[in-house]
Amino acid sequence: MIAVEHLVFEYPGLRALDDVSFQINQGSITALVGPNGAGKTTLLRCMAALEQPVSGRITIDDIDVLEQPRESHRVMGYLSDFFGLYQRLTVRQCLHYVARAQGIADADCEAAISNVCKHLGIADRLNMRPGELSRGLRQRLAIAQAIIHRPKLILLDEPASGLDPEARHELAELFLALQRQGMTLLVSSHILAELEAYSTDMLVLRQGKIVEQVSVKSIQQHKPFKLLLAQPVPNLAELLKQIPEIDTVKIEGNSLALLKIPENNLQQHQILKSLLALNLPVCEFAPAAHNLQDAYLQSIQEGP
Ligand code: ATP
């Protein structure tokens, strides 16, 4: 769905994107993460054909974004980090305006508005003005504007910022619903715990470079196992070496070990028995809580 090749973007005196290349599959929800100033907004703006890079190529659904920006807008939606809404228009008028700007025929606008509003739960707000909506509902209106033309891809820059936990949860549900309809989503966010609830992939940007692109499933599958002892055992490393199925990742304070072990439950049971046979005072033997945040912090620290 998306191919970015050797993208370079510069602000005066600053290279904000430095040879960025990646691909994104159709139907995925990719979390674009990275520290402040990493270049996430710049990358999304380039992909939305709002910035002209120095060099490189962006292809979305086989359309060259830099050469055919208008055509690319027909297949993508973009929600910027600080979006504006026309305060004098009602919700219906805001959506009608965007629908017409996106090339939807006048006769089809009402159906498109009603469809998108039903989807975003704002159908009962059509006659209100943005200033009368809560922050979460304004966010929904902005997303409605971004997807009214039923794009194949939607780029969202920090869509959850400023939302309360319930609204963020609803937003996650909405993203999953859009994915089920066949949309591809690229979402930048700092709230990693929530990205984990809906992302299929994670793209990590640091200082204008891609540091990592991983599938969230693989992060979850490769959770290390945690072995916690009731008290330190000085020769823990040597003892663990006696069990061939165990690959020790890390030992902390001779009482905590992170292990790579087979995923099979019966084999795990045998390993536990072997640990107890070695007289180790085991008080916890379970998958460690390794999540998107851990994987992100690891890739940011390791980096290229
Ligand atoms: P954040 O997480 O803080 O939103 P970001 O990853 O989105 O950050 P960008 O906003 O893309 O990062 O900024 C990338 C770099 O480009 C930063 O060093 C930033 O200071 C710089 N930058 C961004 N916009 C401009 C601009 N208009 N003029 C000059 N430099 C800019």
- The rounded Å distance from CA 76 to ligand 1 centre is 22
Within-domain flag for 195: yes
Best probe residue, ligand 1, of 7, 8, 9, 14 (max atoms within 8 Å of C-beta) = 14
219-244 pLDDT per residue, tens: 666 678 889 999 999 999 999 999 99
- Nearest atom in ligand 1 to the alpha carbon of residue 39 is 11
Same domain as 240, residue 210: no
Best probe residue, ligand 1, of 33, 40, 50, 209 (max atoms within 8 Å of C-beta) = 40
Token representation of residue 250: 């890390």
pLDDT-wise least confident of 10-14, 125-129, 135-139, 161-165 = 161-165
pLDDT of residue 197: 78
- DSSP letter string over 270-302? HHHHHHHHTT--EEEEEE----HHHHHHHHHHH
In short, whether 176's Cβ falls inside 6 Å of ligand 1 is no
Same domain as 233, residue 206: no
- The rounded Å distance from CA 38 to ligand 1 centre is 7
Same domain as 190, residue 64: yes
In short, whether 11's Cβ falls inside 6 Å of ligand 1 is yes
177-221 pLDDT per residue, tens: 889 989 999 999 887 777 877 889 999 999 999 998 888 776 666
Within-domain flag for 303: no
pLDDT of residue 160: 83
Domain boundary among 184, 219, 254: 219
Average pLDDT, integer, range 117-143: 90
In short, whether 80's Cβ falls inside 6 Å of ligand 1 is no
Same domain as 108, residue 56: yes
Residue 151 has pLDDT above 90, yes or no: yes
Residue 262 zone, left/alpha/beta (φ > 0; ψ -120 to 50; rest): beta
Residue 272 has pLDDT above 90, yes or no: yes
In short, whether 275's Cβ falls inside 6 Å of ligand 1 is no
**Residue-range definition of the domain harbouring residue 53:** 2-219
Label the pairing between strands 201-206 and 209-215. antiparallel
